[in-house]
Amino acid sequence: MKVALTGWGGFLATKLRTATDIDWTEDRDNCDMLILMGSPTFTGAELDQHDAQVMHQYVRETIRMIDRVDRPIIFASTTGVDDIQLDHRGSTSYNLAKLYLENYVMYNCDAWTILRIGTVISKDPTDLSLMKQDRIQPRIKRKDLTGIDWEDNYLLLDDFLNTTLDRIRNFKTGIVEYQLTKFTIAELAKI
């Protein structure tokens, strides 16, 4: 099976590509399935003008990609869409963009899967050096605890990989809710 992947050099995409039974490609025109993983990440409630334009461009380009594909699509979303309240509490531009694209995929594709990815952590210290420095574990290692809850639910990298690879190999339409594991900051600091 030939699977096209956006966000090719990203942490999660790179980890997925270690599965050698799948023929990974960046060629979105010649594939059996498309996984939309790459996106800008803005988690603040407000964006400056430049960042807002980047997010708008991401949504437009993603819609264009979706419209050109007539094969199964897997869209990497976020558990952050669950935080959005009717009064807009919990809304960030990132969460709203992901929710908008989830709905676009669901109503414009025949075969789709939405991956509701939570905050990914790894028990392998080598992975921490591969993560972006603004992610939870690298921040904790630097003792930058600003805005990090003392205890929270996290998605173990191995759980992400096992569940996602299973969905790729045994595709079915629907939303994937990953099993999350509760950790304290102290527990994450020990990894």
Tens digits of residue pLDDT in 104-120: 999 999 999 999 999 99
Mean pLDDT of 123-129: 91
- pTM over the 0.75 mark: yes
| Structural domains of the chain, ranges and CATH numbers in brackets | 2-118+155-178 (3.40.50.720)
Radius of gyration of the chain (CA): 17
State the pLDDT at residue 147: 87
Cα–Cα distance for residue pair 59/104, rounded to 1 Å: 10
